[in-house]
Structure 1
Amino acid sequence: MFKHKKKLGQCFLKDKNFVYKAVESANITDKDVVLEIGLGKGILTEELAKRAKKVYVIELDKSLERYANNLKERYSNIEIIWNDALKVNLNKLDFNKVVANLPYQISSPITFKLLDRGFDLAVLMYQLEFANRMVAKEGTKDYGRLTVAVQSLADVELLCKVPPSAFYPKPKVSSALVKITPREKYKIENKEFFKKFLRAIFQHRNKSLRKSLIDSSKEFGLEKSEIREILEKFIKEENVDLSKKVFCYSAPELIEISNKLSRYIE
């Protein structure tokens, strides 16, 4: 009998209503090549295989091989990749959509790995708390570094909440299906600086943006006195308002400030 592995975060989706919701929200057609991360017992994989041109499934746990073999006997368009999703070179796979019940412990790194690779659309299962942070609005308690990092790269929509009873074994937390549509609405001029900028300011999300930058000066390899001097010049020359609390700035506002500030610091 198969034993779920807690260290891999295995909670298999068993409620087909949410499987159908995920697949329908992704609008899968016979022209789509889909990536799934985490095989489970294959109920999502099967629905994807019925509709898609091809389905890649990345799965780390070889003890699930009997479920994979059963599926491959019935569907010729499934390819299983036995590996850690964080280690797979996604650029070598020709998928255009992603539908998955993600292992929650890799939610953040796999999301940004996927966004770096690029895709047309993704419907992904996350822990509800994580999903709320992804879709949060500025000025709210859930708004933070994750919010801005994701929303700077994509439109994000929380489709529905998913109760623990939809999984086996039952997780201790609720989940949510999230739709992600990448877009280049905002131009980030210096992506490495932007990452550094977000890391610096959200260490002090309840302070003013100016104060948070000063208190996190070491993120930029500067002393507080140095960045204070730079910010005085920056505010004067660019006519930028850094007086609001960090979590009250929208993603586009922070991108604009980062773009301008990078010219003064880098």
Structure 2
Amino acid sequence: MFKPKKKLGQCFLIDKNFVKKAVESAEITKDDIVLEIGLGKGILTEELAKNAKKVYVIEIDKSLEPYANKLKENYNNIEIIWGDALKVNLDELDFNKVVANLPYQISSPITFKLIKKGFDLAVLMYQYEFARRMVAKEGTKDYGRLSVAVQSRADVEIVAKVPPTAFSPRPKVYSAIVKIKPNKNKYHIENEDFFDDFLRTIFQHRNKSVRKALINSSKELNYSKDEMKKILEEFSNTNLEVKNLINEKVFKLSVKDIVNLSNEFYRFLKRDKN
């Protein structure tokens, strides 16, 4: 008998109501090629296979092979990729949708790997607290780097809160089904790498002003504190809006404000170097 492995974060979804909810939220049709991360016992995989053109499943645990073989006997549109989802080259897979009950310990890195790759729509299961941070608005306690990093690139919503009883073994926390729809036209990000560095820098001090955050964590942008003080002195005189934004507390700035400030700062530093 198969025993879930704690170190892999294996909590298998067993409640078919939530399986159907996830698949319905993804609006799967026979034109869709779906990526699933984590096979589990195949309950979600089977539902996807019934509705999609093709299903790719990435699974790290080879001891789940009996479940994979049983599925493949009944469905010819399932392809299992044995490996670590964080290491698999997603560019080699031609999926357009993602539906998965994610292992919680890879929630953040796999989400950004997926967003970087691109897709039409994703419906993913997260720990409820993580999901709340994804959708949080400025000025709230859940608002942080994750909120801005996701919302600046996609429309995101919590579809359903899922109780521990929906899983085996039962986790100690609630989960959430989250719908993510990438939106490249939502905000213009001047430089993706700089933007991510900027977010990491300022959100290390979310309760301080942007100015103080940038100075305190200046090393994240490869500057000394003294260099950053001097740069910010000049940058704050660029225009009144910039001056107001860098003197505001980090967690009070909207996603739009942070994107705009990052873009302005990137252009300013680039101009300064030239």
- The TM-score by the shorter chain falls in which range? over 0.9
Q: Tell me the TM-score normalized by structure 1.
A: 0.98
Partner of 1:197: 198
Partner of 2:221: 220
User: Contact 1:37 / 1:102 at 8 angstroms: preserved in 2?
Assistant: yes
Partner of 1:206: 207
Deviation string, structure 1 residues 49-103 (Cα, Å, up to 9, x no partner): 0000000000011111111111100100000011111111101111000000001
Partner of 1:149: 149
Give the letter aligned to residue 125 of structure 1: M
Q: Matches of 2:207 and 2:79 in 1, distance apart? A: 47
Partner of 1:158: 158
Give the letter aligned to residue 78 of structure 1: I
- Paired-residue identity, %: 71
Query: SS of the residue aligned with 1:195?
Result: helix
Displacement, 1:264?
2.6
Matched, 1:55 2:55: yes
Displacement, 1:196?
1.1
Select the residue among 231, 237, 254 that pairs with 2:258. Answer: 254
Matched, 1:26 2:30: no
Q: Matches of 1:65 and 1:215 in 2, distance apart? A: 50
Deviation string, structure 1 residues 103-162 (Cα, Å, up to 9, x no partner): 110000100000010000000000001100000000000000111111111110011100
User: Contact 1:230 / 1:264 at 8 angstroms: preserved in 2?
Assistant: no
Structure 2 gap segments, 5+ residues each:
none
Give the letter aligned to residue 37 of structure 1: I
User: Contact 1:14 / 1:166 at 8 angstroms: preserved in 2?
Assistant: yes
Displacement, 1:21?
0.2
Query: SS of the residue aligned with 1:237?
Result: coil
Query: SS of the residue aligned with 2:70?
Result: helix
Query: SS of the residue aligned with 2:200?
Result: helix
Query: SS of the residue aligned with 1:139?
Result: coil
Q: Tell me the TM-score normalized by structure 2.
A: 0.95
Q: Matches of 2:19 and 2:256 in 1, distance apart? A: 34
Partner of 2:175: 175
Partner of 2:249: 245
**What number of residue pairs does the alignment pair up?**
266
Partner of 2:108: 108
Deviation string, structure 1 residues 13-65 (Cα, Å, up to 9, x no partner): 00000000000000000000000000000010000000000000000111111
User: Contact 1:12 / 1:168 at 8 angstroms: preserved in 2?
Assistant: yes
Displacement, 1:167?
0.1
Give the letter aligned to residue 34 of structure 1: V
Pairwise CA RMSD of aligned residues?
Answer: 0.9
Q: Matches of 1:258 and 1:204 in 2, distance apart? A: 16
Query: SS of the residue aligned with 2:81?
Result: strand
Partner of 2:46: 46
Give the letter aligned to residue 254 of structure 2: S
User: Contact 1:196 / 1:220 at 8 angstroms: preserved in 2?
Assistant: yes
Displacement, 1:220?
1.8
Partner of 1:79: 79
Structure 1 gap segments, 5+ residues each:
none
Displacement, 1:238?
2.8
Give the letter aligned to residue 209 of structure 2: S
User: Contact 1:29 / 1:53 at 8 angstroms: preserved in 2?
Assistant: yes
